[in-house]
A and B are shown apart, each in its own frame.
Chain A
Amino acid sequence: MSTISQERGWIDRRIPEARRESWRRAWLRFMNDRVGFIGLLIVVVVILLAILAPWIAPHPEHAGSFTDFPNALQSPSLDHPFGTDQNGRDVFSRVLFGFRLSLMLVVVVLGFGVPVGITLGMVAGYYGGRTENVIMRMTDTFLALPPLVMALAITSALEPNLVNAMIAIAALWWTWHARLTQSLVSSERNEAYVEAAKIAGASTPHIMFKEILPNILSPILVKITLDAGFVILIGAGLSFIGVGAQPPQPGLGTMVSQGTTYLPGSWWVALFPGFAIMFVVMGFNMVGDGLRDLFDVEVDR
């Protein structure tokens, strides 16, 4: 009697241990990949800048509707590393706060889209048959609309602002993850360990999320990382058009769009926010690429 329970205790301990060990090794290998490492560095720096923006920005009060016309359109200097905009606001400070909005968009969109997508894809892939057909048809239909166009339509139907842009993009994003999860699960559902769990009497949610999910996590993780960059680009695009972040909010796309009025003379107003978008998106893409090499999975963007 006692030996059996000891045996089981050993297995329960052993599995998480093995899992931890494989993640630790993955981490070490990841850090050896130069591209992935630089990308991670960029992402961490941007996240820190975004979180700490109110304390480290040289002029945190410039994030909103601040005006200082005597200092408008100053070229970059020590006091204003990225110069000042048409209202005399420090572009560098606004870029830091712009990172905040961009990352917030990522968190909201993926925080909603990923769980919903994974659940739907899991149900479709696991049950197969008609359930799968219905869910995947629906997914394909949503996929036929470019996210930017759809978000544009939804945002315009509600009211153009950042919150609605978030809702609009989040309402579309699950499709990609449903697609990916379904294809992964449908090849996984006939594996021996799933059969074993079924025979052992495990409940369906347990099999889905405790047995299958950990085994398909790596491609999903790669996808999430690549998504982050893509979401930021779409958010910037919406702001650029004027249906995302609204002035005086420091949306990076909004800043580029307003800055174009002052090109080419006051180039810093548009160019620094633009390069800031590229910087953070590139960071996420590099991490995604590093992870892709690491897990050796093929995931489309």
Chain B
Amino acid sequence: MQYWQYIVRRLLGVLVSLVGLSIIIFAVSRILPGNPARMALGPLATDEQVEAFAADMGIDQPVWMQYIQYMQGLLTGDLGMSLETRNQVLDDIIRHLPATIELITVAISFTIVLGIGLGILAAQHKDGHIDNATRMLAFATVSIPGFFLGILFQLIFGWFLGIMPITGRISREFRDEVTRETGFMLIDTLLSGSLAAHFDAWMHILLPALALSAAGIGQIMRITRSTMIDVQRKDYIEAERGFGLPNWLVVYKYTLKNAFVPVLTILGLLYASLLGNAFLIELVFNWPGLAEYGVNAVLSNDFNAVVGVVMTIGIAFVTVNFVVDLLLGRVDPRIQLERSGLT
């Protein structure tokens, strides 16, 4: 099978997933008991006002009509109006998204660097002290709730040591200096030309990103370790050592490359749990991202916003896994057959 055929097959799968996703989310949003229009307007609104508002929102139509309208909206990027902020949900999401993407990107980078690094270290010292220590570390990181780790970080680095900021994305003194260009604080601070502000933004993102990445670091560490050990036992590695290749070359070029497939697979799945955990981390660190917007929407029964947020996350997850699948198909062509259901 050609690579492009594989891409087309996976793309079709993505489409099916997205349609399924829209149905699930629509179903969830419509099991809401009570009248959302009434909830939005509050108990003081008259019945006529509520009815007019309901007609305005399209929630007086039969369910299937609502689904068609909702799909039309999705396809044209119109997610409706937020009942809480009275803005277009799409605008709200676009405004909140960069903060979350920034946080998750930094967290994923930590996960990759620290997780793979520690995993290699553990595999190199199999059954030694370092291996045991990293094993305990892995247990601790996957067992501690991310939000609790965040609180511990705030306590230690913010309150007791006083060396790190514990909330927000940037300090007050830089707030006016930095204009919003891309929404990514790390980029905006660079664009504003203030290195101090850029450094300040890094100080702000460090703790939440580390708290967010902890669970992933543990998982990636373990999976890297076990696949590295598996690969190390292979004959070709033995042969390379026999040829007298230096240790670093064997480890970093030949072993690591072949240990990469399971790690990449897990990274794709990890993305979903990162998106989920970001909800909690953003609350703890007052991070003005999508998750904070989503939680507020949930708590205030703002269902258009909830649908928008959940849909965004679903799309993000499907897209990331599509990219991961493409990469995997490149790295290991056998996977193309497997993922297309041809085995």
| A residues in contact (CB < 8 Å) with B | 35, 133, 137-138, 140-150, 152-160, 229, 233, 236-237, 240-243, 253, 256, 260, 263-264, 267, 270-271, 274, 277-278, 281-282, 285-286, 289, 300-301
Contact = CB atoms under 8 A, between A and B. Distances in A.
Contact of B28 (A137, A153, A160): A153
B17 A141 contact: yes
Q: For chain A, what secondary structure do more than half of its interface residues adopt (helix, strand, loop), or is it mixed?
A: helix
Q: For chain B, what secondary structure do more than half of its interface residues adopt (helix, strand, loop), or is it mixed?
A: helix
B151 A152 contact: no
Contact of B310 (A133, A137, A150, A236): A150
A263 B29 contact: no
Interface centre among B146, B266, B272, B341 (most CB of A within 10 A): B272
Contacts of A146: 272-273, 275-277, 313, 317
11 contacts: A141-B17, A141-B20, A148-B280, A229-B142, A240-B145, A241-B280, A263-B151, A263-B154, A263-B159, A285-B142, A301-B219
Contacts of B13: 137, 140
A274 B151 contact: yes
Interface centre among B20, B140, B219, B298 (most CB of A within 10 A): B298
Which 10 pairs show the lowest CB-CB distances between chains A and B?
A: A146-B276, A141-B20, A148-B276, A282-B143, A156-B298, A274-B148, A281-B143, A264-B159, A146-B272, A278-B144
Given A148-B279, A237-B146, 15 more contacts: A137-B16, A141-B20, A145-B21, A146-B313, A146-B317, A147-B276, A148-B273, A149-B294, A157-B303, A237-B145, A240-B145, A256-B147, A260-B151, A267-B155, A274-B151
Contacts of B29: 153, 157
Contact of A144 (B21, B295, B301): B21
B117 interface: no
Interface in B294-334: 294-295, 298-299, 301, 303, 306-307, 309-310, 313-314, 317-318, 321
Given A145-B21, A146-B276, A153 B143 contact: no
Nearest to B22: A141
B314 A300 contact: no
A140 B314 CA distance: 11
Interface centre among B145, B146, B152 (most CB of A within 10 A): B145
A141 B140 contact: no
Contacts, number: 152
A256 B219 contact: no
B283 interface: yes
Contacts of A147: 276
A173 B310 CA distance: 17
Nearest to B343: A186
Interface string B259-290: 00000001001001101110110011000000
B31 interface: yes
A154 B27 CA distance: 10
A153 B32 CA distance: 10
B160 A264 contact: yes
A172 B71 CA distance: 23
A269 to B, nearest CB: 11
Contact of B151 (A153, A243, A270, A286): A270
Contacts of B145: 233, 236-237, 240, 253, 256, 274, 277-278, 281
A26 B146 CA distance: 34
Given A144-B318, A153-B28, A301 B142 contact: yes
Contacts of A35: 135, 139
Contacts of B283: 240-241
B139 A282 contact: yes
Contacts of A158: 31-33
Contact of A229 (B143, B277, B306): B143
Nearest to A152: B298
Given A145-B314, A146-B313, A277-B148, A138 B20 contact: yes
A157 B148 contact: no
B65 interface: no
Interface in B126-151: 135, 139-140, 142-148, 151
Interface string B21-57: 1001100110111000000000000000000000000
A140 B268 CA distance: 13
Contact of B24 (A142, A152, A267, A286): A142
Contact of A133 (B28, B314, B318, B341): B341
Given A158-B33, A282-B140, A145 B279 contact: no
Nearest to B156: A264
A154 B151 contact: no
Contact of A148 (B159, B277, B307): B277
Nearest to A157: B32
B148 A152 contact: no
B269 A300 contact: yes
A263 B299 CA distance: 24
Contacts of B28: 150, 153-154, 157
B278 to A, nearest CB: 9
A232 B334 CA distance: 37
A274 to B, nearest CB: 4
Nearest to A171: B28
A232 to B, nearest CB: 9
Interface centre among A35, A141, A243, A263 (most CB of B within 10 A): A141
Contact of B20 (A137, A152, A277, A278): A137
Contacts of B318: 144
Given A277-B148, A300-B269, A152 B295 contact: yes
A153 B146 CA distance: 20
Contact of B147 (A152, A237, A285): A237
